[in-house]
Structure 1
Amino acid sequence: METKAEVLKYLFTRIQEILPVNVVKAKKDKDYFIYIVENNCSIEFYIRTSQSGHAGKNTFCMGITCRIRNPFLSKLISEPFNEKDTYDNLIVLFSNQYDWYNQNQMEVDYFLDNKSDKTPEVERFLNDLNKNFFIYIIPFVEKYTKIIDFYSNPGYIQYITGSKQFILGVICSLLCKREEFIKEKLIPLAKANENGHIFKDFFKVKNYVSDIIEPIKKYIADNNISFDNV
């Protein structure tokens, strides 16, 4: 691989090969990849590139933004509060530019040099993508009971969109029949991040029980929602 076009074409094919869910349809629009997968979800990748012309016309830096869209989860975090679906069903937004919690993030940029074969750097990029983003795919596309495992570390949930981390945690705790998880894990974690980038939904309400937990319980009961029948 020598040119940016060749790199993007290769990435489009390789990502589809290594995605851990079934791909129904794949679409490529230059540097934007969309994979329609199971459960009416989509996984999207925007490959950010910038030329470094001083080192050769085929030298460029590369980064990535990834999105998971899930209409079921999006409705769960919005409809109990009479809101519309959030961000067109966007539920996870990952970017290797973010480094709020200094977790094992992908490098900010990958430098692809004009003077050498780009395959090793591209494969390193894919390995990092697999390690840092693919962990979200199975829980947020297929096995929703695994979502609450992410609450073991705030770094894992910073990419849940719309500041709805607490709401989603409550929903998953209830649907996993682990209501005790709310008091034992979610509330202490939220209080510990009062000035952080997550759990803003917890601090926006005066009473989290009446304003968040009770509406979710009612919505689940009224609509007979269960992870078992998804």
Structure 2
Amino acid sequence: MTNIRVLIADDQVMVRQGFTVLLDAEPGIEVVGQAVDGTDAVAKAAELRPDVVLMDIRMPGLGGIEATRRLTEPPDAAVRVLILTTFDLDEYVYEALRAGASGFLLKDASAAELAHAVRIVATGDALLAPAVTRRLITEFARLTRAPRAPLKDRVGGLTERETEVLSLIAQGLSNAEIAERLVVAEQTVKTHVGRILTKLSLRDRTQAAVFAYETGLVRPGH
């Protein structure tokens, strides 16, 4: 089985080295490089072709948000970005999710949490389940200034069931939890999620959640 290739981008050498040691000790994960800032991360990602980039937000020069945008913007981009932050309500994290990141992780995460996060985003899913992520998306969706068209114009292409599933995704529920809530098979939920992403031209569950908040389908605090 091919190892998950990881690039670590952080301006603090101890953070880079610490995460490298933790991840290299995990089966099926290989750290292929380290980057000192966003510019370095973009260059090394092009050279090393990692599956996942662990991206700090606050770095000198090119920051993590713009670096994330540059990595994920190309239509054929295969790399996944996992944002690293020192606290759970960093005002920049929400912007990083909008820029194309697949989720975020606190820097004080355990080795097991770090490895789990890397594996989750490497499979093409998004790290959305932790309650801290729900709080973040809820809080910073409130701060967006996106124009609000009528709801039917924003999600009119979705069926009633798909709209319901999208709402539950935005609340941070997993497929299994959504299946239990709606009393359907988990595979049925997976099918709905796939159709939602396709219809809305979204990359993953994180972008779906951001979309749901920005369009007003789900309101912060509800």
TM-score by length of 1: 0.32
- Higher radius of gyration, 1 or 2: 1
TM-score by length of 2: 0.33
